[in-house]
Structure 1
């Protein structure tokens, strides 16, 4: 590898000069890199010599654009058999957010400052089909996708560094307390027992059996929608979670040969056994007599015996009892400001917007002491019944709900025993 000055005359007779680094890359291919200043050429030569020795150097001409790398990334996900929802998320992040700002940029030109600027533009500039900036949560998700894209490109030898991963490593020291997710709160994220009683009291019609089952089993929406009668044992008072239904169950997908039924979200959640409370047993026994029949043998199908849409369950099953019971809050727009109707009156929305709130309640019901109307289960049992992939996930999500063991008398006795020993 050498640094030399190069002089030449253009077609118009103008004399020019530059500093050239002449080197062979890791594959033995001769490369030239041009700089205006010698100090820049020397600095690049020193850095590149190290990266070639480490086997991490990729020449600019050997790399591809972010758009081209994105094609490989999507193809890799398909070949790996990723779920359709995951592939759709990759495609949406790439087309809606990454390509508009970085699509034509070569991977070798990506740096931490470039990614920071990319995040700033996501936050500030309207873009995508919705023509609006990204929320803070979406920016994090898109950045993770960009890091995944670069990891795939790095394995293909198309880029030397994954700057997103480098950025996250450096960011650990800079991480602020406000970056963590707030703890789930009763009455905000988790329905209070009194609110659950109101939901049960006002829950009517077609979706009532599902709402009751969700409250007392903590199943995910996809698990409820994929639950089969064959997996419900009313005599033994238990059900088994062996499959789930994803959101791709519309006729057009089924006609394409796509199977909307798959395994539960995590390996730990597969084939877990959930005990059934008497109210659930009685409700399901009555519901089984009038449940629409279908080839999928579903417990909570639509009127034709096929998979029910999640949105229908929320709009027709979860929201109506909350409105009837007065469990409402002001509806907010995307700027977190209260919505109003044409007359200037506030528009109200159901307090709990998704079935996951009922899953949170079930976890709290497992954890709460018996004297407070709970079951007093230990954290390992909670992990098993919730189907979490690890006990760390259970602790991170619900650890603060477990009762503390601080007791002044016990502490004083322990201190006395220690000092008198």
Structure 2
């Protein structure tokens, strides 16, 4: 590998010069790369030398574009049998967030500064007019969304590395450099879940349950006292309910396309004990449903219900009926304020279940230790459980305990 200066004169008599890096790539093919400055040529030569030695160097002429790498990444996911919702998310990220900005860029041209510039473009450019979610069109991308898209770009580059069409992953390089700082910033900015705001209070849950009837009563009682995710309860089968032991077994989930598959993670496959009120309500549903239907909460066709049906037809109307509402800022024709469900998503009930597991027995909870809470929720790690719900666990250093300890010390 050599770096040499090349000088020549144009047909108009203008003297020109450049620095050329002359080297052989990993396949032994001779490559020439030209730079305007010697320091840039030297820097490239040093990097190329290491990459060639390690067998990972990819010349510009052998590189592919980010758009091409995105297609390969999507194909990899399809080959691995990922859920259709995950594949669709990959396609959206590539089509709407990545290709419009850096789709034509060669992977060999990407660098940490280039990734930073790409993030700036995302930040300054609103969602396009043809974005699938109409409510987002014309709105700016959030910092969270930019982070998610950057992660997808990093995954594209990682897949390209595995395929031998990229020599580096600047997203990973940037991530390693800023991971500690980003985590600290994220921790400072992350708001803790608040009872009465994000987590329904016991009084709100009691009022909610009182207005429920029929299948919806059994459905929401099961969610409230098992903490099942939407995909898990929609995939719940009668064979997963043990009426004798009073337990529910999480063995599968159903995605947004109503396709059944394994739980989200190994920890997602779990056994959850439930109180008699849940078992009795499920028995009533079983008697009405009859035989021949696999899913506990099937629609009239015997298939799993959709998430939208559960939220829009079951959860939110019942919240409004129970007067668990919040103001929308809108008024009807008579000038009266229009109320809306205070908790609009099914995950609020999962949050309540977690708080019920954590709360002291004297406060109406189960008082379970963190590890058991993790297992009941199906979290993959105790870190996840403590990050989300750690602040709900009772403190051992409350006023009563402090007073007792001080009295013993000073006795």
| Both structures adopt the same fold (TM-score exceeding 0.5) | yes
C-alpha distance 188-223 of structure 1, shift in aligned 2 (>3 A): same
Moved more, 50-59 or 74-83: 50-59
Alignment of 1:356 with 2:344, yes or no, is no
Alignment gaps of 5+ in structure 2: 132-136
Are the aligned partners of 1:203 and 1:320 in contact in 2 as well (CA < 8 Å)? Answer: no
Candidates 241, 246, 250, aligned match of 2:250:
241
TM-align CA RMSD: 2.5
Alignment of 1:191 with 2:200, yes or no, is yes
C-alpha distance 15-219 of structure 1, shift in aligned 2 (>3 A): same
The aligned counterpart of 2:228 is 219
Where 1:301 maps in the other structure, the secondary structure is: coil
The aligned counterpart of 2:277 is 279
Once the two structures are superposed, residues 272-307 of structure 1 have per-residue CA deviations (whole angstroms, 9 ceiling, x without a partner) of 222221221221122222237654x11101122211
Are the aligned partners of 2:215 and 2:297 in contact in 1 as well (CA < 8 Å)? Answer: no
Number of aligned pairs?
399
C-alpha distance 339-88 of structure 1, shift in aligned 2 (>3 A): farther
Candidates 285, 288, 298, aligned match of 2:286:
288
Looking at structure 2, the residues matched to 9 and 345 of structure 1 have their Cα atoms a distance apart, in angstroms, of: 82
Looking at structure 2, the residues matched to 66 and 377 of structure 1 have their Cα atoms a distance apart, in angstroms, of: 49
The aligned counterpart of 1:268 is 267
Looking at structure 2, the residues matched to 205 and 136 of structure 1 have their Cα atoms a distance apart, in angstroms, of: 43
Give 1:411 shift.
4.0
Once the two structures are superposed, residues 1-27 of structure 1 have per-residue CA deviations (whole angstroms, 9 ceiling, x without a partner) of 222222345567765332211112233
Are the aligned partners of 2:97 and 2:122 in contact in 1 as well (CA < 8 Å)? Answer: yes
The aligned counterpart of 2:27 is 27
Alignment gaps of 5+ in structure 1: 250-259, 332-337
C-alpha distance 372-54 of structure 1, shift in aligned 2 (>3 A): same
The aligned counterpart of 1:252 is none
Once the two structures are superposed, residues 126-160 of structure 1 have per-residue CA deviations (whole angstroms, 9 ceiling, x without a partner) of 24422433222221111111111111111222222
The aligned counterpart of 2:301 is 304
C-alpha distance 109-387 of structure 1, shift in aligned 2 (>3 A): same
Where 1:175 maps in the other structure, the secondary structure is: helix
Once the two structures are superposed, residues 72-129 of structure 1 have per-residue CA deviations (whole angstroms, 9 ceiling, x without a partner) of 1111112222222222211111112111111001111112222122222222212442
Candidates 121, 143, 158, aligned match of 2:165:
158
Looking at structure 1, the residues matched to 40 and 271 of structure 2 have their Cα atoms a distance apart, in angstroms, of: 65
Are the aligned partners of 2:225 and 2:275 in contact in 1 as well (CA < 8 Å)? Answer: yes
Candidates 313, 317, 321, aligned match of 1:316:
313
Are the aligned partners of 2:215 and 2:285 in contact in 1 as well (CA < 8 Å)? Answer: no
Are the aligned partners of 1:20 and 1:35 in contact in 2 as well (CA < 8 Å)? Answer: yes
C-alpha distance 73-344 of structure 1, shift in aligned 2 (>3 A): farther
C-alpha distance 150-198 of structure 1, shift in aligned 2 (>3 A): same
The aligned counterpart of 1:257 is none
C-alpha distance 167-392 of structure 1, shift in aligned 2 (>3 A): same
Q: 1:105-254 maps to which residues of 2 (within 5 A)? A: 105-128=105-128, 129-130=130-131, 131-132=137-138, 133-175=140-182, 177-180=184-187, 181-249=190-258
The aligned counterpart of 1:394 is 385
Looking at structure 2, the residues matched to 156 and 378 of structure 1 have their Cα atoms a distance apart, in angstroms, of: 46
Give the alignment's TM-score, normalised by structure 1: 0.87
Are the aligned partners of 1:219 and 1:386 in contact in 2 as well (CA < 8 Å)? Answer: yes
Once the two structures are superposed, residues 36-69 of structure 1 have per-residue CA deviations (whole angstroms, 9 ceiling, x without a partner) of 2333323332343344334443221121100111
Give the alignment's TM-score, normalised by structure 2: 0.89
